[in-house]
Amino acid sequence: MRDISKIGAQERFPGYDVLSKWSGPSWNEQTQRVITRRLAADPEPKFFTAEEFRTVTAIAARIVPQPRTRPRVPVAALVDHKLHQGRSDGYRMAGMPREGDAWRLGLKALDAEARAAYGQDFHALAEGLQDCLLARMHGGKLNAPEWGSMDPQSFFTKRMARDIVLAYYAHPTAWSEIGFGGPASPRGYVRLDFDERDPWEAAEAGRDNEAAVRRINRHVQ
């Protein structure tokens, strides 16, 4: 899991801010209400304990590391909000507890693994050691008794990483990063052929056209 905070890579969609669509024809009132709730995610946890929230924050920082050059997506807060509301996927894998129970069990077990291996809770470890534990979880190589009947590898792929990535890409900051314009309703798409874009979609920069693309993206609505 790489640290992208210091990488000076070229922006793929320079000058694009999806929130510029707020008052334009691309977003309706329903979209505005949904985005308002996501932007107002409470930084104080309502589902997780303070200790659990620190661990979720540390995990999110390793799974979806964020650059320091733009506002950060409050990933842990968005995951907490979903669990606090009791929103469910509507299904779960065999052997996997319900969403909230799986998270509580997984965080407890991960901290137990961290203490057994390195003498500290997960959130207090150096990033390299955090990466090591997460890689071992993903590889099915953790086996502390605190996991109970829940498979650590399944928790990583089916619950923890999934929830974190979905939370990240549900936020407008991430939308701007990948050139996504939000829901297609009510405007929809017209130019559906390969490598074509509608005027209300972000333009992607190449190696030598960043300035021109930036001018285009400043006017996308």
**Per-residue pLDDT at 216 exceeds 50:** yes
Question: What one-letter code names the amino acid at 30?
Answer: Q
pLDDT at 209: 85
Q: What pLDDT, in 10s, does the model give residues 30-85?
A: 999 999 999 998 899 999 999 999 999 999 999 999 988 888 999 999 999 999 99
**Per-residue pLDDT at 204 exceeds 90:** no
d(CA 129, CA 120): 11
Cβ pair 146, 109 in contact under 8 A: yes
pLDDT at 152: 96
Q: Report which of 148, 149, 155, 104 is spatially closest to residue 133, judged by C-alpha positions.
A: 155
Q: Select the more confidently predicted residue: 95 or 130.
A: 130
**Per-residue pLDDT at 7 exceeds 80:** no
- Report domain extents, the chain: 18-217
d(CA 120, CA 113): 9
**Per-residue pLDDT at 3 exceeds 80:** no
The 3-state DSSP composition of the chain as helix, strand, coil percent (nearest 5) reads: 50, 0, 50
**Per-residue pLDDT at 87 exceeds 80:** yes
**Per-residue pLDDT at 214 exceeds 90:** no
**Per-residue pLDDT at 4 exceeds 60:** no
Q: What pLDDT, in 10s, does the model give residues 143-189?
A: 999 999 999 999 999 999 999 999 999 999 999 999 999 888 888 88
Mean pLDDT of the chain: 90
Q: Count the Cβ atoms, other than its own, within 10 Å of residue 170.
A: 16
Percentage of residues in the chain having pLDDT higher than 90: 64
**Per-residue pLDDT at 8 exceeds 60:** no
The CA-based diameter of the chain, rounded to the nearest angstrom, is: 57
